[in-house]
Each structure stands twice: as C-alpha cells, then as structure tokens.
Amino acid sequence: MSDQSLVENHNAPKKLVVGWFSFTCCEGCLILLTELLNENLDNWKKLIEFRHLKALKTKNQIEGLDVAFVEGAISSPDQEAELLKIRANAKHLVAVGSCACTGRPSATRNDLLNAELNYKVLWYFKQFKYNDKVKKIADLVKVDAQVPGCPMIASEFIKAVESYLKLYKLI
C-alpha cells in the first residue's frame, strides 16, 4: 500500500456500516432490498458500507456494525446464538419485516403443533435441532427499531436507513 493510499484511507469520509441478516423466513424482505438497490445503490454506496450482505457478497464480516438489519424469526438454538453475536457487534439493531417484528408468519407452527406431533414432524425437529417455539427477535435481544410489513414496507425501510444516516450526520 502506498503512502498516498494511506492518506486517502485516513481522509475517507465515514460511511454507515451496515449488515443484513436472514433467519427463518422466505427472504422476501431481502428480495425487496435488492429491488430497492436498483433505485438507490448509486446514492447508498457513497454513504453506506454493506459489510454483511450474503445475497450479494462472498466476503462478509460481522464486526463493527453501526446497524444490523435482521429479517426472519428465530427457530433454533444455533440461530439464537448467532443473533446474540450480531447484537454484540452492532450499535443498533433493526427488526425488518413481520417475521422479525412479530414472529409471524414464520411462527405459525407455534399454533399448529403440540406434544402429539406425528413422527415425521418430530424427525425434522430433531434433525434440524429446532426449538419448540419460533420466537420474534425482541424475545431474545434489544431491538432499536422495527420496519413492519410482509414484505417490509419499502418506504419504512428507506425511512429507517435515512434516520441512521442522519444520526451519523452523513446526510
């Protein structure tokens, strides 16, 4: 790395460091995000570093996030552990979409299954180490903001992004 590039890095303006994470869901909110990038990427890439966005990048990092956007509900101990790790690495955490905000529709199985599960369903529970109940994000970690809707309401998501850009004085 040249001295010049070090100077350039040092002087580079701060960007909002963002991660997107998907748990149990249809990933429809993620698809909507990619649609929003059609319109917003040129502007957002000047202001936002997408540090974790597995749908679009192969190298992803969880450390040092300003904002973690989380879609999906939590249905296994592994997912619980990952969510706690995300929370520990993010200054702000936003639940995105109905699954993350309320658990549903992913948590619909909470109403349908009981102790008399048939053996096929029990096999899936054990095979994938599922929890008995599907949980919303706020059942496990502090949530700073929510973007409701199934899929997420696009205008509310943009509002949330802009509120953090303002908070960090980037717009």
The single residue listed with the structure tokens 């908070």 is 167
Q: Is 55 exposed, middle or buried (0-12, 13-18, 19+ CB in 10 A)?
A: exposed
Tell me if 130 sits within 8 A of 109, measured CB to CB: no
Is the CB of 153 or the CB of 170 nearer to ligand SF4? 153
Is the CB of 28 or the CB of 41 nearer to ligand SF4? 28
Q: Closest separation between CB of residue 35 and ligand SF4, Å? A: 12
Q: Closest separation between CB of residue 10 and ligand SF4, Å? A: 40
Residue nearest to ligand SF4 (CB): 28
Q: Closest separation between CB of residue 29 and ligand SF4, Å? A: 4
Q: Output phi, psi for 63, to 5 deg.
A: -75, 145
Is the CB of 28 or the CB of 76 nearer to ligand SF4? 28
The SS3 of residue 99 is helix
Q: Is 11 exposed, middle or buried (0-12, 13-18, 19+ CB in 10 A)?
A: exposed
Binding residues (CB under 6 A) for ligand SF4: these are 25-29, 71-72, 97-99, 105, 150-151
Is the CB of 91 or the CB of 104 nearer to ligand SF4? 104
Is the CB of 19 or the CB of 97 nearer to ligand SF4? 97
To 5 degrees, how large is the angle CA 55–CA 60–CA 64? 125
Quote the DSSP letter at residue 96: E
Quote the DSSP letter at residue 124: H
Q: Closest separation between CB of residue 64 and ligand SF4, Å? A: 26
Q: Closest separation between CB of residue 31 and ligand SF4, Å? A: 8
